[in-house]
């Protein structure tokens, strides 16, 4: 072994124990050879809430001529192979021990697809699974299931070569189907005529029973070009939260937007610069497919998912007990372990606030309880910031966090709860007015109450474990009572009284500190 290679391996071994990463074993990589893009994603490990260590794609356009010529274009093949060579080197550099490789529509449909796959396998040094349309639909559905809490609707994955559709309810996915309606395929088969493409799309989608089953449910949009549509919509409407996963648009609004995009020159659209140049020519075709899905399916809303076939592949490898875990709670636990002064304290906050809420008389839905638990785990992740900026940094970390299993109102609630935990009962003008718009009045009120409870907990415990279980907070005899028994009585002081009083005022109770 050369001294340079030995030195590099030694550095990687040291870095594998970095405090900013969790020990989930060696990184795991997924290489996704699509009809438009070839992508490498390296994950921290195989977990219920996987975190990306590295993500890179190249828009190779493998499928751009498959419908008309039956072949992968020669220049696209060379671009893809050069990309895969780089990806293999990146995986070696990052110490990846397991690489999963998949290929989709272009490679399974092209006459020279098998020959390309053989070259690609030699290039990356691992076997490539060329997915059938049904298998691609299944994995996409699993990706959405893994990242959407209690999903209910129809998943549509629009790639460069094909559209996969599958019905999902909770953790179950029905048999899916595929149609050659990807952006590159439509542009190819229609000779780049949107009018001809419209006839093709209408004929393919108008009588699909799977779409008719989507009425008044959710259509989950997966795929890079649909995400580009969503990004354009975000910027045009001035939406305050630039997080793609979970972005929701009412179906009627999505329909009008799709009609606009497919009927005008996309280069004339406002904010078009937020869309990658290589994606822009495909926008009219993606909008056209979405428009017809909405017309036929009549869903209540469109929700965009950043999780798809790659995440579905990882999810499929988990044991059943791991699959059943809550993705949001697992992600919050990871952040709690990485960034809190005491991860155990975050867990103790859950039980401490459970008792408070159970006795408070405030009704709480199952989903609200779940979000409160996540807030407890995230409450201390900003403690290293300057005290004047802990609220702001925590809000930004949570609102823009790379986790799933939550919608945008839920993100806003979590961010605001931890914001209030740091700043107390601030006036509304100190909040982001647009972020506040994402939550209902009820959720905003609950964020204040829960933030005030967390604010009290931290002056009782100093963020240390084994204190909160001995100092319960509950409604007793119509009063908000904090018990400080035995040796904990010495903790009593003005700060605790003031914060207890603030919380009591929010719920309309008299505060009392009980020393016994």
- Contact present, 293 and 156 (Cβ < 8 Å): yes
Q: What are the b/e assignments for 393-423, b being 16+ CB within 10 Å?
A: bbbebbbebebbbbbbbbbbbbbbbbbbbbb
Min mean pLDDT across 14-23, 65-74, 217-226 is at 14-23
What is the model's pLDDT at position 7? Answer: 45
CA angle 111, 115, 118 (to 5 degrees): 145
Instruction: Report how far residue 255's alpha carbon sits from residue 260's, in angstroms, rounded to the nearest whole number.
Output: 9
Beta bridge partners of 216: none
Mean pLDDT (the chain, rounded): 93
Instruction: Report how far residue 336's alpha carbon sits from residue 457's, in angstroms, rounded to the nearest whole number.
Output: 16
Min mean pLDDT across 44-48, 215-219, 375-379 is at 44-48
Residue 460 φ/ψ, nearest 5 degrees? -75, -45
Mean pLDDT of 301-318: 97
**Position 15 pLDDT exceeds 90:** no
- What is the distance of C-alpha 247 from the center of its chain? 10
Instruction: Report how far residue 121's alpha carbon sits from residue 125's, in angstroms, rounded to the nearest whole number.
Output: 6
Instruction: Report how far residue 431's alpha carbon sits from residue 12's, in angstroms, rounded to the nearest whole number.
Output: 43
What three-state secondary structure class fits 152?
strand
Residue 219 φ/ψ, nearest 5 degrees? -100, 120
What is the model's pLDDT at position 435? Answer: 82
- pLDDT, tens only, 457-495: 999 999 999 999 999 999 999 999 999 999 999 999 999
What three-state secondary structure class fits 300?
coil
Query: Where residue 430 falls among pLDDT bands split at 50, 70, 90?
Result: low
- Contact present, 457 and 425 (Cβ < 8 Å): no
CB atoms within 10 A of CB 18: 9
Task: Return the sign of the alpha-carbon dihedral for residues 190, 194, 198, 201.
Answer: positive
Domain with CATH 3.30.420.150 in the chain: 134-313
Enumerate the H helices of 37-166 as residue ranges. Answer: 66-69, 74-93, 105-109, 113-124, 133-147
Q: Which CATH architecture has domain 327-514?
A: Orthogonal Bundle (1.10)
Superfamily of domain 134-313: Exopolyphosphatase. Domain 2 (3.30.420.150)
Give me the CATH code for the 3-130 domain, please: 3.30.420.40
DSSP 229-266: HHHHHHHHHT-S----TTEEEEHHHHHHHHHHHHHS-G
**Position 39 pLDDT exceeds 50:** yes
- pLDDT, tens only, 75-99: 999 999 999 999 999 999 999 999 9
pTM: 0.92
- Contact present, 409 and 443 (Cβ < 8 Å): yes
3-state helix, strand, coil in the chain (%, to 5): 55, 15, 30
The two tokens of residue 199 are 């006839």
For residue 369, what is the enclosing H or E element? helix 366-378
**Locate tokens 């809490």: which residue?**
149
Q: How far is CA 391 from CA 340, 400, 426, 451, 474, in A?
A: 15, 14, 11, 11, 26
- What is the distance of C-alpha 203 from the center of its chain? 33
- pLDDT, tens only, 486-501: 999 999 999 999 999 9
What is the model's pLDDT at position 425? Answer: 76
Axis-axis angle for helices 194-205, 283-297 (nearest 10): 30
Domain with CATH 1.10.3210.10 in the chain: 327-514
Q: What percent of the chain has pLDDT over 90?
A: 90
Q: How far is CA 406 from CA 40, 220, 240, in A?
A: 25, 14, 17
Query: Where residue 433 falls among pLDDT bands split at 50, 70, 90?
Result: low
Mean pLDDT of 366-385: 97
For residue 512, what is the enclosing H or E element? strand 510-514
Mean pLDDT of 390-405: 93
């Amino acid at each position: 072994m050369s001294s340079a290679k030995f030195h590099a391996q030694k550095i990687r071994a040291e870095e594998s124990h970095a405090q900013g990463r969790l020990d989930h074993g060696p990184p795991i990589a997924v290489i996704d050879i699509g009809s438009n893009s070839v992508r490498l994603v390296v994950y921290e490990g195989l977990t219920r809430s996987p975190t990306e260590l590295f993500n890179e794609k190249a828009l190779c356009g493998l499928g751009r001529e498959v419908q008309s010529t039956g072949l992968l274009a020669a220049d696209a093949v060379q671009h893809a192979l050069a990309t895969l060579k780089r990806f293999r080197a990146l995986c070696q550099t990052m110490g990846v021990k397991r690489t999963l490789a998949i290929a989709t529509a272009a490679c399974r449909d092209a006459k020279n697809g098998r020959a390309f796959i053989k070259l690609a396998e030699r290039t990356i040094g691992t076997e490539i699974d060329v997915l059938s349309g049904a298998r691609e639909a299944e994995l996409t559905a699993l990706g959405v299931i893994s990242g959407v809490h209690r999903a209910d609707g129809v998943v549509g994955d629009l790639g460069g070569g094909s559209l996969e559709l599958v019905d999902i309810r909770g953790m179950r996915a029905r048999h899916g189907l595929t149609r050659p309606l990807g952006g590159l395929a439509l542009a190819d088969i229609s000779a780049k005529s949107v009018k001809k493409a419209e006839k093709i799309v209408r004929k393919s989608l108008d009588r699909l029973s799977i779409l008719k089953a989507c009425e008044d449910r959710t259509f989950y949009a997966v795929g890079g070009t649909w995400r580009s549509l969503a990004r354009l919509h975000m910027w045009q409407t001035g939406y305050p939260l630039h997080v793609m996963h979970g972005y929701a648009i009412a179906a009627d609004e999505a329909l009008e937007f799709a009609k606009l995009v497919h009927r005008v020159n996309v280069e004339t659209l406002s904010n078009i610069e937020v869309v990658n140049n290589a994606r822009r020519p495909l926008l009219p075709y993606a909008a056209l497919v979405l428009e017809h899905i909405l017309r036929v399916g009549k869903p209540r809303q469109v929700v965009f998912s950043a999780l798809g076939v790659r995440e579905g592949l990882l999810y499929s490898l988990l044991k059943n007990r791991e699959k059943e875990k809550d993705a949001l709670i697992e992600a919050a636990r990871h952040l709690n372990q990485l960034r809190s002064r005491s991860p155990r304290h975050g867990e103790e906050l859950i039980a401490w606030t459970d008792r408070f809420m159970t006795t408070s008389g405030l009704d709480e839905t199952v989903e609200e309880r779940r979000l409160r638990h996540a807030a407890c785990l995230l409450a201390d992740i900003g403690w290293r910031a300057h005290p004047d900026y802990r609220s702001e940094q925590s809000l930004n970390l949570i609102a823009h966090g790379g986790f799933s299993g939550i919608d945008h109102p839920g993100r806003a609630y979590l961010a605001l709860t931890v914001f209030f935990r740091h700043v107390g009962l601030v006036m509304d003008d100190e909040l982001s007015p647009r972020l506040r718009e994402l939550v209902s009045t009820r959720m905003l009120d609950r964020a204040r109450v829960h933030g005030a409870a967390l604010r009290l907990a931290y002056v009782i415990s100093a963020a240390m474990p084994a204190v909160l279980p001995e100092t319960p907070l509950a409604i007793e005899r119509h009063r908000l009572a904090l018990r400080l028994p035995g040796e904990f009585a010495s903790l009593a002081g003005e700060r605790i009284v003031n914060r207890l009083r603030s919380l009591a005022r929010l719920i309309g109770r008299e505060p009392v500190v009980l020393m016994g």
